[in-house]
Amino acid sequence: MLILKNVIFTALVPGAFGVLVPRWIASYFHSGQVVRLDGAGWMGLVLIVCGAAVYFLCLFEFMRAKGTPAPIDPPKELVVRGLYRYTRNPMYAGVLCLILGQAVTLRSLPLLLYAGILFVTFHLFVVLYEEPKLTKMFGESYRNYRHTVPRWLVMRKRHDS
């Protein structure tokens, strides 16, 4: 059942925002454009693969914690393993990387703008909804996590001296 819930979430949320919407934007603005696998094309392809890998690594950590990334069915324990040791929001970063890869591959300003709008949306969701909810759910352990791991930038874990 847990696998099915994660598959459904992946199809509905990151699948829609990271694949379907960019495909619609690309088909609207770049109809008939052929993807060239030159330097930029390869770089975009690497970003796409890395973004997808980041997302699925994070999804695996949620499944290990017996939950989903869906706000309506979160894990019972705070996920601080894997990529979550370096940034509090690697799953969002993975989806953005996937979109940026598509923008680079297609040399698409509309997709780049979409990625920027989506980043602002993700940021507002994290700050206004997710962080308060996680603070309420996990209390001091989440406050400590917020203190030691940055919200967006991937960095080595900070330690108090």
Going from N- to C-terminal start, the domains of the chain cover: 2-148
CB-side exposure of 128: number of CA atoms within 13 Å? 6
Return per-residue pLDDT of the chain as tens, 161 residues. 999 999 999 999 999 999 999 999 999 988 777 777 898 899 999 999 999 999 999 999 999 999 999 988 889 899 999 999 999 999 999 999 999 999 999 999 999 999 999 999 999 999 999 999 999 999 999 999 999 999 998 766 555 54
Q: Please give the structure tokens belonging to residue 69.
A: 């990334």
Q: Phi/psi at 151 (nearest 5 deg)? A: -65, -50
Q: State the DSSP string of 9-66.
A: HHHHTHHIIIIIHHHHHHHHHSTTPPPP-SHHHHHHHHHHHHHHHHHHHHHHHHHHTT
For the CA atoms of 80, 127, 110, 45, what is the dihedral angle to 10 degrees? -10
The helix/strand/coil state of 151 is coil
Q: What is the pLDDT of residue 72?
A: 86
Would you state the structure tokens that stand for residue 116, as one six-digit string?
A: 């920027």
Tell me what pLDDT residue 161 has: 43
Distance CA 89, CA 129 (A): 13
What pLDDT shows up at residue 153? 85
Confidence (pTM)? 0.90
CB contact at 8 A, 58 and 64: no
